[in-house]
Amino acid sequence: MNFDLTNDQKMLQREVRSFAETELAPVAPQIDVSGEFPWDNIKKMAKLGLLGIIVPEKYGGSEFDFVSLAVAIEEISRICASTGVIVAVNNSLVSYPILQFGTEEQKEKYLPPLCSADKLGAMGITEPNAGSDVAAMESTAKLEANHYILNGTKRFITNGGEAGIFVVFAYTDKDLKYKGISAFIIERDTPGFTLGKHEELMGIRATANCELIFEDAKIPKENLLGKEGDGFKICMNTLDVSRIDIGAQAVGISQGALEEAIKYSKERKAFGQLISNFEMIQGMLAEMATQIHAARLLVYYAGYCKDKGIPPRFSKEAAMAKYFAANMAVDVTRKAVQIYGGYGYTKDYAVERLYRDAKILELYEGTSEIHKIVIARELLR
Amino acid sequence: MDIIVCIKRVPQTAEAKVEIESSGKDIVKDRLTFDMNESDMYALEEAVLLKEKFGGTIIAISLSCSDAEDTLRIALAKGADTAIRIKAEDFDELDGYKTAQLLSAVIKDIHFDVIFTGCIATDDAYSQIGATLAELLGIPHATLLTNIEVIDSISHVHRELEGGLQEHIEISIPALFTIQTGINVPRYASLIAIRRAAGKEIKLVGQNEISKDQLLLNTQIEELFIPPVAKQVKIITGSPGEVSKELAGIIREKGLI
Amino acid sequence: MSEIFMLIEHRQDAIRDISYEMMTCGRALAEKLNTKLTAVFLGYDADKLVESIRDQAHRIMVVNNEVFKEFNAESYQIALAEIIKKENPLLTLIGHTAFGMDLCPALGTQLGIPFTTDCLDVEIIDGKLIATRQMYDGKLNAKIRFRKNPSYLVSLRTGCFPVRDSNIESEIVNIESPISAEPDYRKFVEYIEAAISDVDITKADVVVGVGRGIKKKENLALIEDFASTIGGVVACSRPIVDAEWLPKDRQVGSSGKTVKPKLYIALGISGAFQHVVGMKNSGTIIAINKDQNAPIFNEADYGIVDDLFRVLPTFKNSIIEMKSK
C-alpha cells in the first residue's frame, strides 16, 4: 500500500500549482463577474498538455493516468473552479469517450484538436426535460443515406458556447428504450446546429454554459460513436470516469476555501484577539481539513481503481467519491464563509465565489441523490 | 554549447512566517514549502534558450539533501539533459565557500562552455557561490547578467549595476555567469516533459567520490535572531472606510499632499 | 600590521556613497583596535577624486592607471590581491554592490582568506571577527564567525553605516600598477544608460510604489487612478519590472532608483532589502500589505494589514473628500 504520489505526479502537481497561482489566480475573480471564457489560459494550458492529460501521446495527449488527472484538476480548481470544469470536460467527457469508443479514424481526427484546444470539447446529454433521467431524452437521430438527421435541444452544456467538437446523445430507436440511444461526434459548423440560450449561472460562471439546438442537423454517418444503441453504455461509462474529476474539483475548491479561511482567521481580530484563538473557529477548521482529506483519499482511490482496472466496475467507488466530495465542498465552503462572517458574504473575498462554485458539484453529472442510488444498487446486488 | 546550471532548493520564505529552531542556528523547516531558488529558474531558462539555439547539453547540479531530487527532476523536465546531486548529507556543515568547493570538485571533470547560477539564493542571500566557483575553476566570471548579446569565444553580455545603469562587457568562454531575474520568462514544464523526466536517473556524488580532507569552512553561523525594528510602525486597524479616513487625516495633518 | 583596509568604489568620475559608508565603518573599527584605516584607490586621473576623500582615511593608497578607469572585477582582483598579500591587513572592506559582488568572492578565494558577503555590521570582539548578515528574505539576521586567520575580507551592504564627518590628514601613497591593460579574457565595453522616461519618479513629492501584491498588470489602471487622485506617480519593486508590467525607470531599489518623496505609499510590497534601500529615506511611509510579517512594516510609519484592493477605493474617496474641504 502506498499513499505517495509518484515522481511524475508530484512534478505535475508542482507545475500545475505554479501555473494556476501565477496565470489563473489574477483572472479567476474577474471571469466570475464577467463570465468571459478564459481562452488565453486554456490555450496556455493546452501547450502544457493539460487539455489531453489522459490521451495517449500519439493523439497529441500527455498520456497520464486518472490519479494524475485528479491531481491536475484539483490544483486548477483550487484557484479557479471555472477553468477546472472546462479542462475536466475536455478531458473526461469528450476526449475519454472518443478514446474509449471511437474508431481509429475518429481518434486521429478529433483527439489532436481537443488536446491542442484548437477545438474545445463539450458533451450533450441533458435536455430541458431530461436531467438525471437520461432515458427521458427527446432528441432523435434518423439515418438517411449517408447522414443522421438529428433533432432536439440540449441544455446546460458546459463549454457549449465555445466548443468545436461535441459528443451528443440521441435516440436512433425510441422503441428500444435506453438501448436505443446512440452517441455522435458533432462539429460546430454542422448545418442545422445552432447555439441557443446562454445560461447565467450562480457559480462556475465562465464555462460558456449554453443550449445546443439541432434542427435537421446533418451528421455524417461515420460520426456515429460506437454502434447504434451504444449511447447509454457510453454515457454511463463516461460519467463514471468524469466523477473522478468532479470529485477533484470539489477537493480543489475546498482546499482553496480552507487556505483562505486559515489565513483570514490569523489576521482578523474580534473581542481583542485573533479569531483563530477561538475554539469554535478552530473546530470548523479542523472539520474542514478532515473532510477535505477524506474526500481526497476517496477521489484518488477512485482514480486508482480506474487506472488499475480494479475492481472491474469502479462505478461505486467513483459515485462514492463524487457524492461525498460534492457534499463536502458545499459544507466546507459554507464554513469558510461562516469564518469570514459578514465579510464572507461580500464580493471582496474569494470564499463567496467558492461557495457559489461548490454548489454545482451536487447537481451536475448526476445529483447526489442519483449517486446514492448508484451506490445502493451496487450494495444490494 | 555545453552548459552547467547550478541549482538550489530553498524554503519559500517571502510570505511565510520564519521561526528559529532550538539550536538557534537554523530555521524551523517542517512547515515551509521548498522550491527552486528564484534566480536559478532564470539561469536554467537561459541555458535552455541557448541549447535551443546552439544545441549541446545541459547538466543541472545541486548540492542538497535527497528532497531536492524533486527540484532536479523539475530542471530535467524544463530542459536539462542530466542531473547530478552532490549529497549534502555527506559533508556536514556548509557555507558558501565549502559549497563552491564541492561544486568545483565535481565540475572540474566535466566539459562545459558556460556555467550559469542564479545571482542570489533567497535563503542565505550570499551572492558568492558563482564568483567563488569561477575562481576555483580558474575561469572568468560576470555576475548579475541581464542580457546575453553574443555567446562565443568572445562573448558580449550586460551586467546590471545600480540606478538603472548597466554595463556591457566582453568576456571569453568558458566562463561563469550569474543570472539576474527578469532576463527571460521561465517556462512551465509540459506534462510530456515531466513524464519523460520522472524516469530519469539522478547521478549521486558523495564522500566516496569527493575527499573531505581539503574542504574548508570560511564561516559559521553563530546565531540567528529577529532583526531589530528600525522604526516603530503604527498599525492602523478598522474597516477599510475607517483606516482610509484615518490615513487621509494623517496626510492632511502632515501636509503631505 | 593589523590595519583595516577598504576599497574605494567610484563610477563615471564620482566616488560612490558606499565608499564613505565603508570609511565610516572602517574608521570606527580602526579606532577600537587602535590601528589605522587605509583606503585603496584604484583609478585613473585620480587627483580630483582622491582630493575629495583625503580627510577620510589615515592613508590613501593610490594606484593610478588607465586600466582602472572603469570597474573590471578581473583587473581589480589582480591589483588588490597583490596589495593585500603585501600589506596583510586584518580586514579588508569592499561594498556589496554590483561591483563588489563581482569582486569580493573571487578575491577572497584567490587569496585563500576567509570572507563573507553582504554584511550589515562587522565587529571585532576579543580579536575575533563577527559579522551580521540578513537571511530569509530579510526576516532573520545572523551573526557569522570566521575561520581563524590573520586576514579577512568582508563586503558591506549599502545604507548600513550613516556617514560621519572626518578630518584626518590622509597620507597619500602612490603605488605602481601591476598591470597596464585589462586581461584579454574580460574587458569593459561601455555603459548602457537607462532609457529616458516621461515620468521622473525621483522628482515626485508623492510616490505610490507597487509590488507583487497587485497580482496582475490590469490592476495598474486602478493604481494609476489612485496615484493621480493623490497627486503622485507610480513606481514599483523589481518583480513588476521583471514581469514587464512597468518600465525599468519606474523601479525603486538597489538596481533601480532611489527616491525621497514627502510621502511614499507602498502597496503590496513585501519590503525586500533591495527595494527598501531605494525608499527608506522618504518623509512618511505608508504600507498596505496583507502579510502582517512583511518586512515593509519595519520601514513604514503607518501600516495597514489588509488586501490593498479593499482599502484602495475607500482611501481614494477619503482623499477626494479631504481635498474638497
Q: What is the 3-state secondary structure (H, E, C) of A73-139?
A: HHHHHHHCHHHHHHHHHHHHHHHHHHHHHCCHHHHHHHHHHHHHCCCCEEEECCECCECCCHHHCCC
| Widest Cα–Cα separation across chain A | 78
- Percent of chain C at pLDDT > 90 equals 69
* Residue from B194, B200, B243 whose CB has the most chain A CBs within 10 Å, to mutate: B194
Q: Would the CB atoms of A27 and C310 count as touching at under 8 Å?
A: no
Which residues 6+ apart lie within 8 Å of C50 measured at CB?
Answer: C41, C60, C62, C172
- Residue B232's pLDDT is 83
Q: In terms of CA atoms, which chain A residue is nearest residue B35?
A: A14
Q: How far is CA C295 from the centre of its chain?
A: 18
Helix%, strand%, coil% for chain A, nearest 5: 60, 15, 25
Q: What CATH number is attached to the domain comprising C84?
A: 3.40.50.620
- Closest approach of C171 to chain B, Cα-based (Å): 31
Q: Is the CB of B66 inside 8 Å of chain A's CB atoms?
A: no
Segment C209-233 shows an average pLDDT of 90
User: What mean pLDDT value characterizes chain A?
Assistant: 94
Segment C42-61 shows an average pLDDT of 91
Q: Would the CB atoms of A25 and C307 count as touching at under 8 Å?
A: no
Q: In terms of CA atoms, which chain B residue is nearest residue A63?
A: B192
- The ipTM, to two decimals, is 0.91
Same domain, C150 and C34: yes
Q: How far is CA C267 from the centre of its chain?
A: 23
Q: Would the CB atoms of B194 and A19 count as touching at under 8 Å?
A: no
For chain B positions 215-244, those within 8 Å of chain A (CB to CB) are: 237
Kindly state whether residue C116 falls inside one of the protein's structural domains. Answer: yes
What is the pLDDT confidence band of residue A311, given thresholds at 50, 70 and 90?
Answer: low
Same domain, C294 and C215: yes
- Closest approach of C247 to chain A, Cα-based (Å): 20
Q: Is it the case that residue C127 has pLDDT exceeding 80?
A: no
Q: Is it the case that residue A262 has pLDDT exceeding 70?
A: yes
Q: Would the CB atoms of B234 and C302 count as touching at under 8 Å?
A: yes
Q: State yes or no: is A228 an active-site residue.
A: no
| Residues in chain C within 8 Å Cβ distance of B234 | 301-303
For chain B positions 127-166, those within 8 Å of chain A (CB to CB) are: none
The string of pLDDT tens digits covering residues A326-356 is 999 999 999 999 999 988 998 878 999 999 9
> Which residue's entry shows cell 442510488?
A373
* Cα(B88)–Cα(C249) distance, integer angstroms: 41
Which among C269, C278, C290, C254 has a CA at the least distance from the CA of C211? C269
pTM above 0.80, yes or no: yes
What is the DSSP track for B130-186? Answer: HHHHHHHHT--EEEEEEEEEE-SSEEEEEEE-STT-EEEEEEESSEEEEE-TTSS-P
Neighbouring chains to A with at least 3 Cβ pairs closer than 8 Å: B, C
| Residues in chain B within 8 Å Cβ distance of C317 | 244
Radius of gyration (C-alpha) of chain A in whole angstroms: 21
> Which residue's entry shows cell 483563530?
A276
| Residues in chain B within 8 Å Cβ distance of C287 | 233
Q: Is it the case that residue B233 has pLDDT exceeding 60?
A: yes
Count of structural domains within chain C: 2
Q: Would the CB atoms of A26 and C218 count as touching at under 8 Å?
A: yes
- Residue B205's pLDDT is 97
Among partner residues A7, A18, A49, which is closest to B191 by beta-carbon distance? A49
C101 CB-side CA count, 13 A: 27
* Residue from A11, A19, A58 whose CB has the most chain B CBs within 10 Å, to mutate: A11
Phi, psi (deg, nearest 5) at residue B221: -80, 125
Which residue, C159, C175, C191, sits at the end of a domain? C175
Which among B132, B161, B131, B133 has a CA at the least distance from the CA of B147? B161
What is the pLDDT confidence band of residue B134, given thresholds at 50, 70 and 90?
Answer: very high
- Residue A119's pLDDT is 97
| Residues in chain C within 8 Å Cβ distance of B219 | 114, 116, 131, 144-147
Q: Is residue A286 classed as helix, strand or coil in its secondary structure?
A: helix
Q: Is it the case that residue C1 has pLDDT exceeding 60?
A: no
| Residues in chain B within 8 Å Cβ distance of A48 | 188-191
| Residues in chain B within 8 Å Cβ distance of C141 | 224-227
**Beta-bridge mates of residue C208:** C234, C265
Kindly state whether residue C129 falls inside one of the protein's structural domains. Answer: yes
Which among C123, C110, C111 has a CA at the least distance from the CA of C4? C123
A364-378, B127-141, B156-170, C268-282 — which one is most confidently predicted on average? B127-141
Q: In terms of CA atoms, which chain C residue is nearest residue A346?
A: C310
* Cα(A343)–Cα(A334) distance, integer angstroms: 13
Q: What ranges do the domains of chain B cover? A: 3-205
Cell of C44: 585613473
What is the pLDDT confidence band of residue C191, given thresholds at 50, 70 and 90?
Answer: very high
**Three-state DSSP string of C187-204:** EEEEEECCCCCCCCHHHC
The string of pLDDT tens digits covering residues B40-82 is 999 999 999 999 999 999 999 999 999 999 999 999 999 999 9
* Cα(C231)–Cα(A373) distance, integer angstroms: 65
Same domain, C146 and C290: no
- Residue A312's pLDDT is 65
Same domain, C13 and C145: yes
Q: Would the CB atoms of C215 and A267 count as touching at under 8 Å?
A: no
| Beta-carbon count within 10 A of C66 CB | 13
DSSP E strand stretches across chain A:
121-124, 140-144, 147-157, 165-171, 181-187, 193-198, 210-220, 224-225, 269-270, 273-274
Q: Would the CB atoms of A348 and C215 count as touching at under 8 Å?
A: no
Among partner residues C216, C218, C292, which is closest to A267 by beta-carbon distance? C292
- Residue A358's pLDDT is 96
Among partner residues A10, A15, A269, which is closest to B189 by beta-carbon distance? A15
Segment C261-268 shows an average pLDDT of 94
Same domain, C219 and C121: no
| Residues in chain A within 8 Å Cβ distance of C219 | 26
| Residues in chain A within 8 Å Cβ distance of C216 | 26-27
Which of the 8 DSSP states describes residue B27?
A: B
- Closest approach of C215 to chain A, Cα-based (Å): 6
Q: In terms of CA atoms, which chain B residue is nearest residue A45?
A: B190
| Beta-carbon count within 10 A of B62 CB | 25
Q: In terms of CA atoms, which chain A residue is nearest residue C217?
A: A26
Radius of gyration (C-alpha) of chain C in whole angstroms: 22
- Closest approach of A19 to chain B, Cα-based (Å): 7
Cell of C172: 597619500
Q: Is the CB of B195 inside 8 Å of chain A's CB atoms?
A: yes
Which among A123, A347, A144 has a CA at the least distance from the CA of A238? A123
| Residues in chain C within 8 Å Cβ distance of A30 | 218
* Residue from B135, B169, B177 whose CB has the most chain C CBs within 10 Å, to mutate: B169
The residue among C287 and C249 whose pLDDT is bigger is: C287
* Cα(C280)–Cα(C294) distance, integer angstroms: 15
List the domains of chain A with CATH numbers. Answer: 7-120 (1.10.540.10), 122-231 (2.40.110.10), 238-380 (1.20.140.10)
Number of inter-chain CB pairs under 8 A, A vs B: 52
Among partner residues C216, C292, C305, which is closest to A26 by beta-carbon distance? C216
Q: Is residue C182 classed as helix, strand or coil in its secondary structure?
A: coil
User: For the purposes of burial, counting CB atoms within 10 Å of the CB of A262, is it exposed (0-12), middle (13-18) or buried (19 or more)?
Assistant: middle
| Residues in chain C within 8 Å Cβ distance of A26 | 215-216, 218-219
Which residue, C175, C192, C209, sits at the end of a domain? C175
Which among B181, B180, B159, B179 has a CA at the least distance from the CA of B168? B159
**Beta-bridge mates of residue C62:** C41, C174
Q: List the single range of A283-287, B83-87, C25-29, C198-202 with lowest mean pLDDT.
A: C198-202
* Cα(C312)–Cα(B153) distance, integer angstroms: 53
The string of pLDDT tens digits covering residues C149-189 is 999 999 999 888 999 998 899 999 999 999 989 999 999 99
Among partner residues C258, C263, C304, which is closest to B243 by beta-carbon distance? C304
- Residue B256's pLDDT is 83
Same domain, C135 and C252: no
Segment B177-203 shows an average pLDDT of 95
- Closest approach of A334 to chain B, Cα-based (Å): 23
Q: Would the CB atoms of B192 and A47 count as touching at under 8 Å?
A: no
> Which residue's entry shows cell 570606527?
C28
Q: What CATH number is attached to the domain comprising C211?
A: 3.40.50.1220
- Closest approach of B35 to chain A, Cα-based (Å): 9
Q: In terms of CA atoms, which chain C residue is nearest residue B229?
A: C298
| Residues in chain C within 8 Å Cβ distance of A267 | 290, 292, 305
* Cα(A93)–Cα(A113) distance, integer angstroms: 15
Cell of C117: 558577503
Q: Is residue C303 classed as helix, strand or coil in its secondary structure?
A: strand
Q: Would the CB atoms of B195 and A64 count as touching at under 8 Å?
A: yes
Alpha helices in chain B (DSSP H): 38-54, 69-78, 96-107, 129-137, 191-198, 240-253
* Structural domain of C163: 4-175
Which among B178, B14, B100 has a CA at the least distance from the CA of C98? B178
Kindly state whether residue C109 falls inside one of the protein's structural domains. Answer: yes
CATH 3.90.1150.10, domain B3-205, yes or no: no
| Beta-carbon count within 10 A of C138 CB | 24
Q: Is the CB of B77 inside 8 Å of chain A's CB atoms?
A: yes
Residue of A23, A365, A369, A378 marked active site: A365
